[in-house]
């Protein structure tokens, strides 16, 4: 039979082992999600020989011009926003991954919006163009990477021209 002092030591040992396991699991889980997000950003597109491309995300095609950004779905649906009308940029994450698309760019205009799944063909070019917006928050992109839940990350909002 264990005395109370030995039971106390046993509980401390159990708590120590469990806490080490939790810390290691949290670290490992974070590394896996970072790797997954970086893999999404480095996609080469649906016609590449790269077997790591995301399907169906890579079947969405992002096109960027001087006047607008558009995304064409695999079924041919086109969503677009004019750069002059762009009001905000967000990243939306869901808890539906990793087997379903779970990271989306939301580009909102006054009357239109464009939803682009993470891993879409042309996503890196989109990110490079968005980073040129004044005040774009790269920190929001970094925070969105490991997110595995339902969340919104605000990357940019157009400054309002309020006159006094």
Q: Is residue 145 part of a domain?
A: yes
Name the 3-class secondary structure at 90. strand
Nearest to 121 by CA among 74, 67, 65: 74
Counting the structural domains of the chain, the total is 1
Closest to 87 measured CA to CA, from 162, 160, 142: 160
In a domain, 95, yes or no: yes
- Please give the residue range of the domain that contains residue 46: 40-157
**Residue 30 domain flag:** no
pLDDT higher than 80, residue 96:
yes
The answer to whether position 18 is within a domain reads no
Q: Which two tokens stand for residue 113?
A: 């919006």
pLDDT at 78: 97
Q: Confidence class of residue 46 from pLDDT cuts 50, 70 and 90?
A: very low
Please tell me which residue, 109 or 14, carries the higher pLDDT value: 109
Question: Does pLDDT of 69 surpass 90?
Answer: yes
Residue 8 maps to a domain = no
Q: Answer yes or no: is 32 within a domain.
A: no
Longest Cα–Cα distance in the chain: 80
Q: What is the pTM of this model?
A: 0.67
Give the pLDDT band of residue 32 (cuts 50, 70, 90): low
**4 in a structural domain:** no
Using DSSP's 3-state secondary structure scheme, residue 86 falls into strand
Is 47's pLDDT higher than 60?
no
């Amino acid at each position: 039979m264990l005395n109370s002092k030995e039971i106390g030591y046993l509980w401390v040992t159990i708590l120590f082992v469990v806490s080490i396991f939790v810390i290691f699991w949290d670290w490992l889980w974070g590394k896996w999600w970072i790797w997954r997000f970086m893999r999404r950003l480095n996609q080469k597109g649906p016609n590449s020989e790269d077997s790591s491309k995301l399907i169906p995300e890579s079947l969405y095609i992002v096109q960027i011009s001087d006047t607008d950004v558009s995304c064409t779905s695999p079924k041919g649906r086109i969503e677009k926003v004019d750069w002059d009308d762009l009001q905000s940029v967000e990243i939306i994450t869901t808890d539906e991954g990793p087997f379903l698309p779970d990271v989306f760019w939301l580009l909102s205009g006054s009357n239109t919006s464009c939803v682009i799944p993470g891993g879409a063909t042309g996503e890196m070019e989109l990110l490079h163009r968005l980073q040129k917006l004044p005040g774009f928050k790269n920190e929001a992109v970094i925070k969105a990477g490991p997110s595995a839940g339902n969340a919104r990350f605000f990357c940019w909002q157009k400054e309002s021209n309020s006159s006094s």
